[in-house]
Amino acid sequence: MEIISRDNETFKHLLRLTKKKHRCQFSQCIIEGEKVVNEHLTRATQVFTRKSKGCCVSCGVPDIVHNIKYYVLDDKLFDLVSSLENDQGVLAIVSIPAPTAPTTPYLVLDTTGDTGNMGTLLRTAAAFGFNTIYCINCADPYSQKTLRAAAATQFALNIIETTHTEFAAHFNTYLAHTTLYLAEAGGKTPQTDNSFGLVLGNEGQGINPTLKTLSHKIASIPMQPTCESLNVAIAGAILMYELTKH
C-alpha cells in the first residue's frame, strides 16, 4: 500500500512514534536501516520503504512475520520520520520489550543525557554480559538516535527506566545481596564475582547523592594526574571489562 498524505492514519501513528511520550504510550519504537530491520523483522508490525528506493527487506522470511503490513511512503513523508541524512530507504515499527526481573551483573546509568554515549554504553553492556540496564533520568533508550548508536542491541537487553528514589527502593528490596560499585575517583578497580552492579554518573554532576546512600564500594580507573576524567562511555567500557574479565 502506498501512502502519499500526511492525513493517513497509519502515517500519523508512525510520526507520533518519533516522540518519547507516544513511544511510551504504545510501547513501540522505530528502527531504521536495511540490516537492522531485517535482523528484527520478527518484532515488526509494519515496515515502510521510501518510494524512490523500493523494497530492501529480505524476501522469503519465516511464516511468523507474514502478518507484517508493508507500506511505501512518499519521499517527503519518509523524510519527516527518518533521523538519517543518508537513509537506506527502510524503517519499521517494532514493539518495545517489557522489563523483566533483574539479572547480574547489571548497569546503572545515572542521568546519561547524550544519545551517543547512551547507545555506546548499551552496546558495550550487551558485549560484556550486563544484560539488565537501569536508566535513571537518561536519554530515551528507544529513540531513533540511541537505537542507531547502540546498533539496536536494546532488544537483547532488559532495560528498566526509573528514578533515583525508585531505584533506591528497588535496590534495597531486590538487589541488596549484590555489591554495588560506584564509578568514582579514590577507589580501585576490584576483582569480583558476577553478583554486582556498576553505577556510571553524569559527566558534569557525577553520581546522584541518593545513590550514594546505598551500601556501595568505589571502582576507579588509574589515570595520570594530568587527566581529570574520561568520557563516560570510555570509562564505562573499561570498568565493565575489568569487572568481568576474572
Q: What is the pLDDT of residues 168-224, one digit of tens each?
A: 999 999 999 999 999 998 777 777 777 999 999 998 899 999 999 999 999 999 888
Q: Set out the domains of the chain in order of their start, with CATH numbers.
A: 2-95 (3.30.1330.30), 106-244 (3.40.1280.10)
Q: What is the pLDDT of residues 138-174, one digit of tens each?
A: 999 999 999 999 999 999 999 999 999 999 999 999 9
137: left (phi over 0), alpha (psi -120 to 50) or beta: left
Q: What is the pLDDT of residues 13-67, one digit of tens each?
A: 999 999 999 999 999 999 999 999 999 999 999 999 999 876 555 543 443 455 7
Tell me the whole-structure pTM to 2 decimals.
0.91
Q: What is the dihedral of CA 37, 15, 50, 68, to 10 degrees?
A: 50
